[in-house]
Amino acid sequence: MTRTIRASCLLLALATSALLSGCERPPVNSVQHGYRGLGMVEVYNPRILAAQAANNQVPEALPPANPDGPKASQVFKNVKLLGNLSVGELARNMVAITNWVSPKEGCTYCHDAQNFADESKYTKIVARRMLEMTQNINANWKPHVAATGVTCFTCHRGNPVPKNLWFKTPGPDADSRLAGNLAGQNAPAVQVALASLPNDPFTPFLSQAVEIRVVGKEALKAGNRQSIKQTEWTYGLMMHMSQALGVNCTFCHNTRSFAQWDSSTPQRAVAWYSIRMVRDVNTAFLDPLASVFPAHRLGPMGDVGKVDCATCHQGAYKPLYGANMLQGYPELAGPAAQAVATPLAAAAPDGQSDKVLVFFLVGRSDISADALRAIALAAADITAHPGQQVDLSGFADKTGNADANLELAKQRAIAVREALKVAGVSDERIHLKKPEFVVGGTEADARRVEIALAK
Ligand code: HEC
Ligand code: HEC
Ligand code: HEC
Ligand code: HEC
C-alpha cells in the first residue's frame, strides 16, 4: 500500500516537473508598471538579466582628438560625409568604427592598406551608407531614440554582421497545399517567440506599411479588413516586440483594452515611432544596398539583411540599458535634415493629425531626398487609414513675377502628388488645391507644399 502511494507520489512529482519544465524557475522579480490593481506588472527573471549584462557592457569612449589643423576634406580624397572633421578627429572616428564593427579584421575590413582612398571594397561603400543611416536615425528619429541615440556599436557589438537581422522568406506556396496558405503558421518560429503565429510579421509591418490595428471600427462593413487572420499577424509582431525588449505586453498596453491609447503607457507612443523609424531605415537605407552586397550576403529573395527591434534592443527595454554613447561621437549625431519635415502624426501618435510640410529650393520643383523621406512617412500613415482623403496645397510668395510663382507652386504640388502615388497612395484620394500666396513668414517658408489630412 505505502509502496503504491510512494510510487504514485513519485509519478506525480515526475509529471509535475515535466509539465513545469517549460516554465522559468522561481524566484522571478516583478515590478509594478502602472496603477496598482491593474495587473500592469513586469516580470523579470534575474538569471536572464545577469546573463545579459555581458552583452550590454559599453566600451569606454576614446580620448578626444585635436580639432585643429586642416580639415579631412582638404587632406583626403574620398571623404564625402566626415570632411568637416579635423584629420585627428577622422582618425579617431575610424579607430572607433573599427572597434565597433570589425575589431578582429581591423582597418582592412573596409580599406586597401596601400590606398585608403580606394573604393573597391563593398564594405566601405556599405559603411558610408551606414554612417548616413546612423546620422539619419539620430537627427530625424528623436521621437524614438531621444538624445540617447545610436552608434555603430548599438547594432554591431563588435560583429561585422549584426547578430539580429531578418531577410524576406519565400512565401508558402498556397497552391501546392490542400490546407491552403498557412501564412507560415503552425511551425513555431523564433521570430515570434516560438508561438504558432505567422512567422514573418516583418515584411508587412517593418518593410511595408500594412495596417497593424485590428479592432474594426464598423460592424460587418464591406471591405473591413479586420479579421482573426489579420490579428494573428499583428500578434506575431507584438510577440517579437515584447521579446526584443525583454518585456511583457503590459510594458505598453493596459490589457483591459489593447487598442485604447489613453490607458496605454507612454512607452507605447515611443514604440509607435519605432515602427515608422524601422520602416524608414529598411526601405530608404538598407533596401538600396542590394546592388552593393555580393550575392552570397543576400537573402533567399535577393534582399539585404534588415533591421527589427532586436537589432538595436537585443533583449533590453532600452538598447545598452539607455547608455549614451553618442555624446562621445558628435559627428554621428548627423547634420539635421535639410528639408524641415514634421511627420504627419508627430503631435498625435493616434494618427489623428495635421500636416507634413515639404520644402523646395529657389525656382525648383524637384523633390530632395529628405523631402522624399518625409513624403514616404506621410504615405505610410495615409495608406494605413483607408478612406482618408488628402489635400495638397502649394504656396508662393509675391516677390518677382506672381503668375510664375503660382505656376511653380502648382508644379511643386504635382511633384508631391506623384511622389505620394509612387509611395502607394491612390490618385482618387489626393486633391490638389489652388496655389495660394503666403501671408507673412520668410521667403523660404513660402517655398512649400502642405500635405494635409482632409477633414
Ligand atoms: C567599417 C568600415 C571601415 C573601417 C573598419 C575603417 N574605415 Fe576608414 N573609412 C571608411 C569610410 C566609409 C570612409 C569614407 C568616409 C566618408 O566618406 O566621409 C573612410 C575613410 C578613411 C580615410 C580617408 C581616405 C581618403 O583618402 O579618402 C582614411 C585615411 C581612413 N578611413 C583610415 C582608416 C583607418 C586607419 C582605419 C583603421 C583604424 C579605418 N579607416 C577603418 C570605412 C572604414
Ligand atoms: C540600426 C542598426 C545598425 C547600425 C546603427 C549600423 N549598422 Fe551596419 N549593418 C546593419 C545591418 C542590418 C547590416 C546588414 C547585414 C547584412 O545584410 O547581412 C549591416 C551591415 C554592415 C556592414 C557590412 C558587413 C558585411 O560583412 O557585409 C558594414 C561594414 C557596416 N554595417 C558598418 C557599419 C558602421 C561603420 C556603422 C556606424 C557608422 C554601422 N554599420 C551602423 C545594421 C546597423
Ligand atoms: C513596446 C511596446 C509594445 C509591446 C511590448 C506590445 N505592444 Fe501591442 N502595440 C504597440 C503599438 C505601438 C501598437 C499600435 C501600432 C500602430 O498603430 O501602428 C500596438 C497594437 C497592438 C494591437 C492592436 C490594437 C488595435 O488598435 O487594434 C494589439 C491587439 C496588441 N498591440 C497586442 C499586444 C500583445 C498581445 C502584446 C504582448 C505579446 C503586445 N501588444 C506588446 C506597442 C506594444
Ligand atoms: C536604431 C536602433 C533602435 C531600433 C531599431 C529600435 N529602437 Fe527602441 N529605442 C532605441 C533607443 C536608443 C532607445 C532609448 C531612448 C531613450 O533613451 O529614451 C529606445 C527606446 C525604446 C522604448 C522606450 C523604453 C522606455 O523605457 O522608455 C521602447 C518602448 C522601444 N524603444 C521600442 C522599440 C520597438 C518596439 C522597436 C521595433 C519596432 C524598436 N524600439 C526599435 C533604439 C532603437
User: Which domains does the chain show, CATH number per domain?
Assistant: 25-54 (no CATH), 164-313 (1.10.468.10), 355-453 (3.30.1330.60)
**Average pLDDT of the segment spanning 240-246:** 95
- Which residue is listed with cell 491609447? 261
- What's the pLDDT at 362? 79
Mean pLDDT over the full length of the chain = 83
Whether residue 312 has pLDDT greater than 80: yes
Check residue 338 and give its pLDDT. 38
Q: Which range scores top for mean pLDDT: 44-58, 95-109, 192-206, 366-380?
A: 95-109
58-93 per-position pLDDT tens digit: 999 999 999 988 899 999 999 999 999 999 999 999
Whole-model pTM above 0.85? no
Above 80 in pLDDT, residue 4?
Answer: no
Tell me what pLDDT residue 337 has.
42
Q: Please check the confidence at residue 405 and state whether its pLDDT lies above 50.
A: yes
- CA-closest residue to ligand 1 atom 42: 124
pLDDT at 151 over 50: yes
Pairing of strands 355-359, 448-453: antiparallel
* More confident position, 143 or 131: 131
Cα-to-centroid distance, 245 and ligand 2 (Å): 20
**Span 99-114, average pLDDT:** 95
Tell me the average pLDDT across 277-287. 94
For residue 367, the model assigns a pLDDT of 75
Q: Which ligand is nearest to the CA of 102?
A: 1
In the chain, pLDDT over 90 holds for what percent of residues? 41
Q: What pLDDT score was predicted for residue 107?
A: 95
Asked whether residue 395 carries a pLDDT value surpassing 90, the answer given is no
Residue 264 alpha carbon to ligand 3 centre in Å: 10
Q: What's the confidence (pLDDT) of residue 169?
A: 81
Instruction: Report the distance separating Cα 370 and Cα 356, nearest Å.
Output: 12
Highest average pLDDT, of 55-59, 147-151, 401-405, comes from: 147-151
pLDDT value of position 352: 43
Task: Identify the pLDDT of residue 351.
Answer: 42
List the residue whose alpha carbon is closest to atom 38 of ligand 2. Answer: 131
Report residue 352 as a C-alpha cell. 489623428
The rounded Å distance from CA 406 to ligand 3 centre is 45
The per-residue pLDDT for 115 is 92
Nearest CA, atom 41, ligand 4: 309
Tally Cβ neighbours within 10 Å of residue 222.
Answer: 5
Q: Which of 35-44, 161-170, 302-311 has the highest mean pLDDT?
A: 302-311
Q: Which residues line ligand 4 (CB under 6 A)?
A: 137, 144-146, 148, 150, 154, 241, 245, 267, 270-271, 274-275, 278, 307, 309, 311-313, 317-319, 322
Backbone angles phi, psi at 341, to 5 degrees: -135, 125
Cell of 95: 579607430
Q: Minimum mean pLDDT among 204-213, 228-237, 246-255, 331-340: which range?
A: 331-340
- The model's confidence at residue 40, banded by pLDDT at 50, 70 and 90, is confident
Ligand 2 centroid to Cα of residue 156, in Å, is: 7
* Spatial CB neighbours of 385, under 8 Å, sequence gap ≥ 6: 351
What pLDDT does 181 receive? 60
Q: Whose CA is nearest to atom 29 of ligand 3?
A: 258
Question: Span 255-284, mean pLDDT?
Answer: 90
Higher-confidence position of 363 and 432:
432
Ligand 2 centre distance from Cα of residue 183 (Å): 29
Q: Identify the pLDDT of residue 45.
A: 84
Best residue among 191, 258, 318 to mutate for probing ligand 3, ranked by most atoms within 8 Å of CB: 258
* Rounded Cα–Cα distance for residues 193 and 308 (Å): 14
Residue entry with cell 508561438: 195
Range among 239-253, 255-269, 385-399, 439-453 with highest mean pLDDT value: 239-253
* pLDDT digits 0-9 by tens, 334-390: 874 433 333 333 323 334 446 788 888 777 887 776 676 677 777 777 777 777 889
